[in-house]
Amino acid sequence: MARVLSTKEFDTWEKLLPKEQQEQIKGFIKELKQNPNTGKPLGYPFFREKKMGKYRLYFLIYEDVDTVLLVTISDKKAQQDTIDNIKSQLDYYKELIRKNL
């Protein structure tokens, strides 16, 4: 079973969403623990998104340490900027995971 961690940015976004979508996210986290390779790959097999209504959840999979990092949430308008931003910070997120082990 994979461990699921989240960034402060993800946690902040999640709290702003309607209760119904917060419940969907909780269900998705349970799914990720069982099958981390769910969602749509975004240029790399370890970088994925999950569409939930008008929002997208972005996450990174670290198979070597059996961990998934929930990075952030965005809407369709900010999708490409969000993807580009995450790709530019992959080293930062990897270090964040290593610090949390």
pLDDT in tens, 17-74: 999 999 999 999 999 999 999 999 999 999 999 999 889 999 999 999 999 999 999 9
- pLDDT tens digits for 47-58? 999 999 889 999
pTM for the complete prediction?
0.95
The domains of the chain, with CATH numbers, are 3-99 (3.30.2310.20)
Closest to 57 measured CA to CA, from 45, 44, 75, 43: 75
- Phi, psi dihedral angles at 92 (to 5 degrees): -60, -45
